[in-house]
């Protein structure tokens, strides 16, 4: 890859020379499409509606709250200046109800949420925003002499909030893999392959798990075991947090020692940790 051809509004074309072209243009990357590096899309069976509320009281105080309602989801994220973002994330069989009466459906949805916020004591200060079609997509992180970072390489279900983190991580991996060769003006093929492999090794299994849950399925037995035990045991809570933050892999989450501890915790402890 020697750069890119650019067609101007006037119809003229020009070449921009570069040793490395990086696609960092987000979901449905135009750079990838023009280069013939196609993305594979997988459907998402959930949708989201969210809005900002002023002075919304939370049972947690100022800590974020996330509800996995199996298969629906919800969260409330406190921000600055007394604002809280509240989101409802049901499966798509509820979409007609939300389209017909967004605010009413949103409030009714939260009525079934444990320790739900009391929206009657707050003021909605934004419109309801909807994300109704959120497919996951992936393309090789390096192909045809190009590199892709962030959502241009891998787009995940927004439910898990990994997008910005993975964008910064992939940019760092690309610099680590290609920096020396760019500085020495060496060949980049091997460097780009190192980046592609590192990207896939670090994020591939996480993306598989995210894609699988985005089908709208219920938690499987292992997920139920780990989530339940994490509410009753501090060590397992930290372990689950490390997985949710993508610090550890799904394989480490479900390691035999952790599964054994989770089974033991669920057997002997009936009450959850009192953090709220």
What's 59's domain CATH number? 3.30.70
Judge whether 106 lies within some domain: yes
Judge whether 275 lies within some domain: no
Statement: residue 1 has pLDDT above 70:
no
N-to-C CA span, the chain: 55
Judge whether 274 lies within some domain: no
pLDDT band of residue 76 (cuts 50, 70, 90) is very high
32 and 157 within one domain: yes
Q: What CATH number did the domain enclosing 189 receive?
A: 3.50.50.60
Pairwise CA distance, residues 63 & 47, whole Å: 24
203 and 181 within one domain: yes
Judge whether 124 lies within some domain: yes
204 and 230 within one domain: no
What are the distances in angstroms from CA 266 to CA 50, 226, 229, 272, 273? 34, 9, 6, 10, 12
54 and 106 within one domain: yes
179 and 62 within one domain: no
The tally of domains found in the chain comes to: 3
pLDDT at res. 251? 94
53 and 125 within one domain: yes
For residues 78 and 84, the answer to whether their CB atoms sit within 8 Å is yes
pLDDT band of residue 270 (cuts 50, 70, 90) is confident
Judge whether 273 lies within some domain: no
At 223, list the tokens: 């997920």
101-148 per-position pLDDT tens digit: 999 999 999 999 999 999 999 999 999 999 999 999 999 999 999 999
146 and 22 within one domain: yes
52 and 104 within one domain: yes
119 and 9 within one domain: no
Judge whether 276 lies within some domain: no
149 and 31 within one domain: yes
Point out the domain boundary residue: 72, 107, 131: 131
Point out the domain boundary residue: 114, 131, 148: 131
Beta strand 146-148 pairing with 21-23 = parallel
Domain around 87: 48-131
Q: Considering the chain, what percentage of its residues have pLDDT values greater than 70?
A: 97
136-195 per-position pLDDT tens digit: 999 999 999 999 999 999 999 999 999 999 999 999 999 999 999 999 988 899 999 999
For residues 246 and 156, the answer to whether their CB atoms sit within 8 Å is no
- Cβ atoms within 10 A of the Cβ of 181, count? 18
Point out the domain boundary residue: 191, 213, 235: 213
Average model confidence (pLDDT) across the chain: 93
- Provide φ and ψ at 125, rounded to 5°: -115, 15
Q: What DSSP state is assigned to residue 130?
A: E
164 and 201 within one domain: yes
At 70, list the tokens: 């199996």
pLDDT band of residue 6 (cuts 50, 70, 90) is confident
pLDDT at res. 272? 67
Q: What is the largest CA-CA distance in the chain?
A: 74
**Where in the chain does DSSP place strands (E)?**
3-7, 13-17, 21-23, 40-42, 48-54, 65-68, 73-78, 83-89, 123-124, 129-131, 136-138, 142-143, 146-148, 154-155
154 and 32 within one domain: yes
Judge whether 144 lies within some domain: yes
């Amino acid at each position: 890859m020697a750069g890119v051809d650019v067609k101007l509004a006037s119809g003229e074309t020009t070449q921009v020379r570069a040793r490395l072209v990086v696609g960092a243009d987000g979901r449905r990357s135009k750079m990838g499409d023009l280069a013939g590096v196609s993305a594979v899309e997988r459907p998402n069976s959930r949708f989201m509606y969210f809005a900002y509320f002023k002075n919304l009281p939370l049972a947690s105080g100022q800590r974020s709250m996330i509800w996995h309602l199996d298969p629906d989801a919800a969260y409330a994220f406190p921000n600055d200046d007394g604002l809280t973002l509240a989101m409802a994330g049901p499966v798509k069989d509820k979409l007609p109800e939300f389209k017909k009466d967004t605010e009413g459906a949103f409030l009714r949805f939260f009525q079934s949420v444990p320790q739900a916020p009391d929206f009657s004591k707050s003021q909605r200060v934004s419109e309801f925003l909807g994300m109704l079609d959120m497919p996951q997509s992936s393309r090789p992180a390096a192909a045809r002499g190009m590199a892709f970072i962030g959502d241009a390489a891998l787009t995940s279900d927004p439910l898990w909030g990994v997008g910005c983190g993975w964008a910064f991580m992939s940019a760092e991996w690309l610099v680590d893999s290609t920096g020396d060769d760019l500085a020495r003006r060496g060949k980049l093929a091997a460097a780009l392959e190192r980046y592609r492999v590192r990207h896939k090794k670090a994020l591939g299994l996480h993306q598989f798990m995210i894609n699988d849950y985005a089908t709208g399925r219920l938690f499987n037995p292992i997920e139920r075991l780990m989530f339940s035990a994490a509410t009753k045991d501090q060590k397992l809570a930290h372990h689950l947090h490390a997985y949710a933050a993508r610090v550890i892999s799904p394989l480490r989450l479900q390691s035999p020692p952790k599964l054994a501890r989770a089974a033991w915790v669920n057997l002997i402890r009936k009450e959850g940790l009192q953090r709220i």
